[in-house]
Amino acid sequence: MAKRRKVKRIGILTAGGDCPGLNAVIRAVVKPAVEMGIEVIGFKDGYSGLMFNKWKKLDGHDVSGILVQGGTILGTSNKDNPFRQPFKDSRTGKVYYKDLSDDVVRTYKRLKLDALICIGGDGTQTVSSKLVEKGLNIVGVPKTIDNDLVGTDMTFGFDSAMTTATEAIDKLHTTAQSHHRVMVLEVMGRYAGWIALSSGLAGGGDIIIIPEIPYDINSVCAKVRERSRKGKRFSIVVVAEGARPKGGGLVVKEVIKDSPDPIRLGGIGNKLGKDIEERTGLETRVTILGHIQRGGTPTPFDRILATRFGIAALELVRNGDFGKMVCLRNGKMASISLEKVGGKVRTVPKNCEMIKAARMIGICLGD
């Protein structure tokens, strides 16, 4: 057994997009830490709190009752990057960038932190890995509704988002059947199809389009026509925001220049819906689920997974095992080096059992 190190004070932050389960992780770190006599400093608004000295002490009272709350009591930001922090010139309005990573190190040292727990996705863990190189003791916790983080079998937040998407599909079924329509649901996921594939399979989607399998519009329309010929006068199409047609590109909603992740996907659902209606003559409606997938109370599964992650992160800190991200591997808590996580995307493998299952029950994947 690893020798426990004396830990007096740790920091914790939530960075990147919000998702259900963030508060559950904070709670799982703070409650046992306080009982062990460890002081916990919560940094506000992600890395912004470290750069600009925004923080508060957290105790048992602060985390009481937050297990079921969505969002994060600490606030978050997906624009702040200590190594390339955007600023706007008040005179010209132009955006320029500064490296404030040394400010982060100074805040860490001034507060006499023994370690820092960073909860976030690939962008957060990329920054964490760079801060480790500057001498900070960091442990990462994997968070993203997209489930696309390398090194873990699942991230917390995914189950909640998938459940929300599945419930939306359930509701669309009744409207589709009543009006004999093709209903297209666009879900999040960035460049990975985990949400679309899982919710489409769980919700009884007839066609599921994911980024990993570029779609042929002729195949999609053939499936819709086939169902119509068989007397099934409606179809449910679930499409991931990062999906694209064969030989075509991504549909980009907008580009945010001052963001670490400037590409905002969105609109593939409208394109797909228009193409289906024009080619089949069947009335088609499009629903873009959007940020509803990020909000609300976490599912029981995510509450438990987030709690396990938080406790595992605190254990890594107490063991002095830094530069690691906690992860779920074969149902058990494990860890992986941060440098192996950041900047990579975990996509749906072509041999995924869910893809095989979808094909076996007659779901069209667009190819």
| Pair (152, 168) in one structural domain | no
Q: How far apart are CA 333 and CA 24, in angstroms?
A: 16
Segment 300-311, tens digit of pLDDT: 999 999 999 999
Q: Is the pLDDT of residue 2 over 60?
A: no
- Residue pair 355/348 in contact (Cβ under 8 Å)? The answer is yes
Query: How do strand 324-329 and strand 332-337 relate by DSSP bridges?
Result: antiparallel
359 occurs within a structural domain: no
- Residue 146 is a catalytic residue: yes
- pLDDT reported for residue 1: 44
Strands (DSSP E) found in the chain: 9-14, 39-43, 55-58, 85-88, 95-98, 115-120, 138-142, 182-187, 207-209, 235-240, 252-255, 263-265, 284-288, 324-329, 332-337
- Residue 43, φ and ψ in degrees, nearest 5: -90, 135
| Pair (98, 114) in one structural domain | yes
User: What does DSSP assign to residue 153?
Assistant: S
| Pair (117, 206) in one structural domain | no
- Residue pair 193/146 in contact (Cβ under 8 Å)? The answer is no
User: CATH number of the domain that 324 lies in?
Assistant: 3.40.50.450
| Pair (28, 89) in one structural domain | yes
Q: Is the pLDDT of residue 3 over 90?
A: no
Query: What pTM was computed for the model?
Result: 0.94
361 occurs within a structural domain: no
| Pair (304, 290) in one structural domain | no
Segment 316-355, tens digit of pLDDT: 999 999 999 999 999 999 999 999 998 889 999 999 999 9
Alpha helices per DSSP H over 193-259: 194-203, 217-229
Containing structural domain, residue 288? 161-294
Segment 227-286, tens digit of pLDDT: 999 999 899 999 999 999 999 998 888 777 766 677 878 899 999 999 999 999 999 999
- pLDDT reported for residue 343: 83
| Pair (258, 326) in one structural domain | no
Q: How many domains does the chain have?
A: 2
- pLDDT reported for residue 253: 82
Question: Of the residues 62, 114, 146, 206, which is catalytic?
Answer: 146
